[in-house]
A and B are shown apart, each in its own frame.
Chain A
Amino acid sequence: MGDPNAEAGALGGLPYVVLAGYLLMLLAFGVAGWRRSTDSEEDYYLAGRGQGWLVSSLTIMATFFSSFALLGAPGMVYRDGVVFALFSLNVPLAGASVYFFGAKIRRVGQARGYVTPGDMIADYYGSPTALRLLVALIGVLYAIPYVVMQIKAGGILSQQMFPGESSFEIGAIVLSIITMVYIMIGGMRSVAWTDVVQGVLLMGGMLIGGLAVVATLGGPGPFFDKVSELPPKSLSVPGTSGFWNPEMLLTVCLFGSIGSLVQPAQWMRFYAARSTGTLRRSALIFGVVLTACFLFGVMLVGLGGQVLYPLVDAAGEYYTNADGKLLPNPAVGDTPGAFNDIMVVVLKERLPALLGSFGAVLASLIMVAIMAAAMSTADSNLHSMSAVLTRDIYDRFLRPKASQKERTWVGRGIISLATIVSTLLVIVAHRSEVDPLAMIATLGLFAIAFSSQLLPVTFDMLYFRKGTRQGAVAGMITGLAIVFFISPFMSLDLGQGIADMRKAMLGMIDKGAWGLIGNVLVFVVVSKFTQPIDQAKIDEFAKVADAD
């Protein structure tokens, strides 16, 4: 990246003012949420099940989109070209899933007083121990990487906005402490209200970022004229790196959407919605508006980035490192992870030059939107992880007779502990050689691969109702084992043959898909040969779930 001091000078002191105002507003929402709260667990975790359509739609959207939406996605388009813009087509599917899953989950949750996904799954399959623990494990496996990633993204952004010796650490700490405080004091109500602000900022940032790049290049006509002159690999499939073959793109779209929609934080948002109509509207807003923000907004930043900061040198050769990995233009960065910086570089270097002080205000707002994207995902995941560990572990196995007040305070303790540990992890990792793109993209995609293992039981409970307890347990264990096998978490040396197989699997389709294939096969086969769930119980469940 260019001279940091020059970049900081381009925006002046504005980012400090905008960021301070934003953080103070979040704390105010935390206090407002606390003033309306009661001591009940249902209130702390589900805001009394009274969320209307505006709050529901924006908190679902803000939870769905992490910093990946504003850093990773344009970074991927900047690296691979137009092919990754089609990743936007996962969003309408996610929107439809809000109704497809959410409406039934809400009805049953409301009728039976469920708070976590484990409550419903363990109850339906009659597995108070094994399935509840597995579902809790999936919840934690999803939440921890996401929380860590968002705190890390806050540090990276701080480094870009306020270059300095310890700016990364300060950014990561400020983001995590403020997030922790408003979740702890106001619970779901504060999280959802701050998500409304963060969701609006996020969508505004996505659209303004795209418009800014198009304007920088002279408007839509000249923009696409210049994009059309990009290297052929940038305009075709599988993209510059060769990774995005159509099967990979399709499966990442599938699991990026529905896998994210069944993770615990979203599941709890379905429970918290006031009515089916709330989720129906949320589904529409999600599918229509958010996709547009991607296709007509943030994805254009990546394409414009390739025009403004070409990936090839004067001789037409791609910039690469010693390992042959693609690198961005030297003006953007000198590591493979620096593709993620394209949004920030474009904002800082182009927007003030184009629009003067108004451009500096816009750039500052989008920077804060990136922070908002990170915080809105971190808060939802910390909050849901607290619910999962309190309801599914502490309440069931450690202190079954604990009062609601005690459980709520234990939940708060878990939030603070998880935040502190995650922040320390991020700061320690920052001092070693960690690739930020790998952190943001890879860990995020593995988290979804884990949460996708909830899909077979979710479909079965809500639609098919043919599975058994043993089938659900065996399927979930198989799915998780496969994802672990192909993930970087299992870095044991198992020989060249296994390593090659793992590499081939990862190059073909999304990792979540491999886990899901094993999960479904085992679930179906074991369910065929084990004792079905009592029909009266299924009928009772179906009567509530299907009551539309």
Chain B
Amino acid sequence: MSSDEADKRRRLGRVLAVAFVAALVLGPGPGLRLINPDVNDSGAVYTIFGLPKVYAWGLFWYGVELAIILTAYYKVWRPDGEASESAGNEEESHG
């Protein structure tokens, strides 16, 4: 891999890391306050698209986290060793 490519990969890795932290802070963190219905408000709306708002919020951020992980998998995490990869244990029988 050229040093340009390595730099690009590192930069993308940093961007994804920041995006992941943001997804955590917004998803199950203080960002919840943006959509949380106020139980003391008689007119509060608890659902969106037929789903509880809080649950829908979780699904959305799951989608974001998923996209980040998939991008990292294909673009940042190096697949070295993949060629010799198999599913189970090495055959090392000593019965």
- A residues adjacent to B (C-beta < 8 A): 35-38, 43, 47-48, 50-55, 82-83, 85-90, 92-93, 95-96, 99, 103, 189, 192-193, 221, 224-225, 227-228, 232-233, 235-237, 246-247, 249-250, 253-254, 274-278, 280-281, 283-284, 287-288, 291, 295, 303, 548
A36 CB contact (under 8 Å) in B50, B65, B92: B92
Given the complex of chains A and B, what is the CA–CA distance between A309 and B48 in angstroms? 24
A276 and B24 contacting across the interface, CB-CB below 8 Å: no
A48 and B92 contacting across the interface, CB-CB below 8 Å: yes
A55 CB contact (under 8 Å) in B20, B23, B24, B88: B88
Q: In the complex, given contacts A55-B89, A99-B72, A276-B81, what are 10 additional A-B residue pairs having Cβ atoms less than 8 angstroms apart?
A: A54-B88, A89-B27, A89-B61, A96-B20, A228-B46, A237-B33, A253-B28, A274-B85, A280-B79, A283-B69
B65 and A89 contacting across the interface, CB-CB below 8 Å: yes
Residues of chain B with a CB closer than 8 A to A291's CB: 62, 65-66
A86 CB contact (under 8 Å) in B28, B68, B69: B28
Residues of chain A with a CB closer than 8 A to B73's CB: 280, 283-284
Given the complex of chains A and B, what is the CA–CA distance between A47 and B58 in angstroms? 38
A221 and B50 contacting across the interface, CB-CB below 8 Å: yes
A235 and B37 contacting across the interface, CB-CB below 8 Å: yes
- A-B contact number at CB 8 A: 177
A228 and B50 contacting across the interface, CB-CB below 8 Å: yes
- B residues adjacent to A (C-beta < 8 A): 20, 23-25, 27-33, 36-39, 44, 46-47, 50-55, 57-59, 61-62, 65-66, 68-70, 72-73, 77-82, 84-90, 92-95
- Closest B residue to A90 by beta carbon equals B28
- Closest A residue to B61 by beta carbon equals A89
A250 and B30 contacting across the interface, CB-CB below 8 Å: yes
Given the complex of chains A and B, what is the CA–CA distance between A277 and B87 in angstroms? 11
Residues of chain B with a CB closer than 8 A to A83's CB: 54
A280 and B77 contacting across the interface, CB-CB below 8 Å: yes
B50, B54, B57, B72 interface centre (most CB from chain A within 10 Å)? B54
Given the complex of chains A and B, what is the CA–CA distance between A38 and B69 in angstroms? 38
Residue contacts A-B, CB under 8 angstroms, 30 given: A36-B92, A37-B94, A47-B89, A51-B89, A52-B90, A85-B58, A86-B32, A96-B20, A99-B77, A221-B50, A232-B37, A235-B52, A235-B53, A236-B44, A246-B30, A247-B29, A250-B24, A250-B29, A253-B28, A253-B29, A274-B81, A275-B82, A276-B80, A277-B82, A280-B79, A280-B82, A283-B77, A284-B69, A291-B65, A548-B80
B85 and A225 contacting across the interface, CB-CB below 8 Å: no
Given the complex of chains A and B, what is the CA–CA distance between A225 and B49 in angstroms? 11
- CB A225 to nearest CB in B, in angstroms, measures 7
A50 and B89 contacting across the interface, CB-CB below 8 Å: yes
B29 and A295 contacting across the interface, CB-CB below 8 Å: no
Residues of chain A with a CB closer than 8 A to B81's CB: 274-278
- CB A231 to nearest CB in B, in angstroms, measures 9
Residues of chain A with a CB closer than 8 A to B79's CB: 277, 280
- Closest B residue to A235 by beta carbon equals B46
- CB B8 to nearest CB in A, in angstroms, measures 15
B58 and A237 contacting across the interface, CB-CB below 8 Å: no
